[in-house]
Amino acid sequence: MDGWIYILVHPRIPGLVKIGYTQTSISQRIVEINAATGVPGSFEKYCAFKVHDPIRLESYIHKKLEEHRYQKNKEFFELGPEVARKYVLAMINGAEFGIEFDEFTMVSCRSMKQLGSIIRRHRKKQKVTQRDLAMVVGCGLRVIGEIENGKNTAQIGKVFEILKALRIKMVLDSP
């Protein structure tokens, strides 16, 4: 699913840029935004980037630029348009499947071995021993070891309890 990440500017709103996505044309999206009665004047395209999976990429960009967000849950950021363009372009250029992966923020996991490795890294980063984790989850030390070593027959319920105990969120991305 391809689309666009865009940066819009407004001559009456200096110091803010609007960063969003569309799966239609940029010109159509600008018409939709400018049709709102609460908008004084017209937004203009500063730049746009054709991307794969624009919904996910927009979410990632907004998360990374959170400290510059003008108001929570709005797509406006206190950035100059050229600075915003450089930030967004860097995120897109460093992206894999539309998302730049950071090993402690977001990873693509395709096997039990990878999941076990993620769990081990997070446990160690939080300075939790296998023994302490086993006590919190209510299982044996052997179960923790098997899961961290990627044993395919690990009980899924225990895996979810471990993820919860370590505050690891798992998100499934359906095609």
Quick: pLDDT tens for 102-146: 544 566 778 899 899 999 999 999 999 999 999 999 999 999 999
Q: Where are the domains of the chain?
A: 2-93, 112-165
Give the per-residue pLDDT at 50.
92
Residue 84 contacts residue 49 (beta carbons within 8 Å): no
The CATH homologous superfamily to which domain 112-165 belongs is lambda repressor-like DNA-binding domains (1.10.260.40)
Residue 120 contacts residue 149 (beta carbons within 8 Å): no
Handedness of CA 145, 149, 155, 156 (dihedral sign): positive
Partners of 7 in beta bridges: 19, 47
Contacts (Cβ under 8 Å, ≥6 apart) of 169: 163
Mean pLDDT in residue range 66-81: 91
As a dihedral over the C-alpha atoms of residue 64, residue 44, residue 4, residue 57, rounded to 10 degrees, the angle is 10
In this predicted structure, the answer to whether residue 98 has a pLDDT above a threshold of 80 is no
